Structure 1
């Protein structure tokens, strides 16, 4: 079981890293007028349009599916000694949310494989369905708080020693460890900023009872570019590239309590 979980984790982390690198590159290139604001769905569409795109898309779908299963495993088993106290349960709830979100991205990958496209308004449609439920607004407030919590947790990982617990760095020299620390700080900080904005957009959608006030990564990118300018937005894109590289390193040198 431990070997199977390790394979799932490595395949998932590596695929996640590639998706973030592509997402970050597309965002960073907007400074030259060559990129675009891309979420995970746009990255999947971009992959499908390349040479051997269908084969690559299936590989990415399988990898993200593996990552989703690994997150569900973490949520159920409670890996990395998080325990069953309030903090541990909160972290495990975050793992479950991550598993759910990446299962949706996996579904999108195979939907693009079969149909050649997918619905780019799925976030707004999902928010609209939630708002129609009893206590839907309260549910969105909880989701917003959870994503904000994840943003704070990511920033903490980047600027503390927690990121070192995710990688077996004994095969890295001192220079490699220093580079790893810088990549982690830049990458996790960039992702924390994007997550914080997504949390704000979902909160705004709940507050105004308007699903089109919400959004995912692409809408967060639009808010960043419109509010802080293209240069800052492009630097955050480079930060997501750094996060992607951290995921690739973590996939290569995993350190997991499984």
Structure 2
């Protein structure tokens, strides 16, 4: 490791850990509101931007919003570092490049959420654009339907990968297991497997609706995170399904917090 890497790594570690905390906070809010909706105690099925809006409306909302925005920007930077510097040693093969591209896309999404936080702080947001509106905008351009189809397939692929990671327990190689007690390991594993499966199911639903929207040339078919949770709620045994996935998203938040504390961010 050269001198430049020695100087950069402490900063990258702090950025990555703050980023995981911020991401966990967003999913904790989404999961909590969906859990309240499933149990009939209030709350709504919301997406990430709506979750940020909810946080902004709380006491000391501006302070929390600023911290969240900084954390989300940190997560975006960490994803960019993973992609561009190949910290996971994925290589230049097709699979490695696809995974690294996924890191970049993920970073772009969370950079957008960080910008959304900044705009809220400046009172510059007059209303959030819906998934349907964004899909319609994409479809209006040449090749837009193919792009929406590709994005839908990408979401479905990420969903399948999340479930596969839960089955294979591939996340274990990223944790400093020696620093965790046996009880912490059991809790982290249980939360992670549940959380990855729940997030995977939601991403599969989002991807499926985007694919349908592209095939039918109908952007109104597209659904975001909140829409996917609403779809679950409308199924037979909907409240139970919604509750299971909502608690799973809260478990995914715990997974993010575990990463913030125990993940090896030097690779």
The TM-score, its normalising length taken from structure 2, stands at 0.92
Cα distance per residue 1:22-46 (max 9 Å; x no partner): 1101101113322210111111111
Instruction: Please name the residue that 2:16 is paired with.
Output: 9
1:176 is displaced (CA, Å) by 2.1
Structure 2 residue 68 is matched with structure 1 residue 63: no
Moved over 6 A (4+): none
Question: Partners in 2 of 1:244 and 1:58 — Cα distance?
Answer: 19
Partner-residue secondary structure (3-state), 1:227: coil
1:116 is displaced (CA, Å) by 7.0
Judging changes above 3 Å, is the alpha-carbon distance between structure 1 residues 118 and 158 closer, same or farther for their aligned structure 2 residues? farther
8 Å Cα contact 1:124-1:214 kept in structure 2:
yes
Unaligned runs of 5+ in 1: none
Map 1:115-126 → 2, pairs under 5 A? 115=123, 117-126=125-134
Instruction: Please name the residue that 1:32 is paired with.
Output: 39
Q: 2:214 aligns with which of 206, 209, 213?
A: 206
Aligned length: 258
Question: Partners in 1 of 2:246 and 2:173 — Cα distance?
Answer: 25
1:247 is displaced (CA, Å) by 0.6
Question: Partners in 2 of 1:75 and 1:126 — Cα distance?
Answer: 26
Judging changes above 3 Å, is the alpha-carbon distance between structure 1 residues 227 and 106 closer, same or farther for their aligned structure 2 residues? same
1:242 is displaced (CA, Å) by 0.5
Partner-residue secondary structure (3-state), 1:84: coil
Partner-residue secondary structure (3-state), 1:89: helix
Unaligned runs of 5+ in 2: 1-7
1:257 is displaced (CA, Å) by 3.7
Question: Partners in 1 of 2:259 and 2:54 — Cα distance?
Answer: 25
Question: Partners in 2 of 1:119 and 1:169 — Cα distance?
Answer: 44
Q: 2:184 aligns with which of 176, 183, 187?
A: 176
